Amino acid sequence: MKKGFVLLLTLAALPLLFSQCSVNKQLAQAKALGDCRYTIASADSVYLAGVDIRQFRKIEDLNPARFPRLAAGLLTRNVPLDARINLDITNPTNRLAGIDQLEYKILLAGQELFSGFLNQRIEVQPGGGRVRVPVRINANAYQLFTDPKTRDAFGQLVQNLSGAQDTKPSKLTIKIKPTLALGNKQINYPGYITIDQEVTNKILLGQ
């Protein structure tokens, strides 16, 4: 009778044990992800107000008179910026780094450009393993375009994205927060993993 009762208790406790092991595994992999190195490798599929970014080679090219969609966007205060930034993650540790979901923010000149959520498995093997993660931007650039605090930095970023020569590097900040799954609940990683990088036209074009 006692053996049967002990067996019953053990079976009842198994789901909790497996759940705790799963959480500990996720925490260990998320911590290793926080110890990884991050590099903005390139950007592609970049459009400003529906116009291929490569048409804006000079700051003077950002002229609404030449691009009706840009003019319409400024009038309606909606200037769509669509892009894909490719982020390289390198794992120098001896532990597997991984996460199933993460929140991210992209900032330019200290101003938030876009925030999003990536719902896919990211796994980086230990000992120098590397993966490339595409991060999408779908943002309204009106504020960056018109605000005196960010206008110059945004124009410079557009030039770098277009591949223009003799431009100063643009400073982008990417903030990443892994999310852990615990049953039907989600637990956010404490704080953000912050990547500050000066990017040039060559880096953003993958050269």
* Closest C-alpha to 43, from 150, 200, 195, 166: 200
Distance from C-alpha of 42 to C-alpha of 87, rounded to nearest angstrom:
7
What is the predicted pLDDT for the residue at 95? 93
56 pLDDT tier (thresholds 50, 70, 90): confident
180: tokens are 């852990």
Question: Residue 145: CB partners within 8 Å, gap ≥ 6?
Answer: 74, 79, 151, 154
What is the chain's mean pLDDT, rounded?
A: 82
Under 8 Å between Cβ of 153 and 84: no
Under 8 Å between Cβ of 132 and 88: yes
When comparing pLDDT for 207 and 68, which is higher?
Answer: 68
* Closest C-alpha to 161, from 22, 59, 71: 59
16 pLDDT tier (thresholds 50, 70, 90): very low
- Residue 155, pLDDT > 70, answer yes
1 pLDDT tier (thresholds 50, 70, 90): very low
* Closest C-alpha to 87, from 149, 11, 173: 173
138: tokens are 């779908």
Under 8 Å between Cβ of 39 and 85: no
Distance from C-alpha of 20 to C-alpha of 92, rounded to nearest angstrom:
27
How many domains in the chain? 1
Domain that holds residue 52: 1-204
175 pLDDT tier (thresholds 50, 70, 90): very high
* Closest C-alpha to 87, from 69, 70, 105, 75: 105
When comparing pLDDT for 1 and 38, which is higher?
Answer: 38
Q: Which of 66-75, 89-98, 102-111, 197-206 has the lowest mean pLDDT?
A: 197-206
Query: Which range in 9-18, 29-38, 124-133, 172-181 is most confidently predicted, on average pLDDT?
Result: 124-133
Q: Which of 2-11, 119-128, 130-139, 190-199 has the lowest mean pLDDT?
A: 2-11
What is the predicted pLDDT for the residue at 11? 38
204 pLDDT tier (thresholds 50, 70, 90): low
The residue type found at 22 is: S
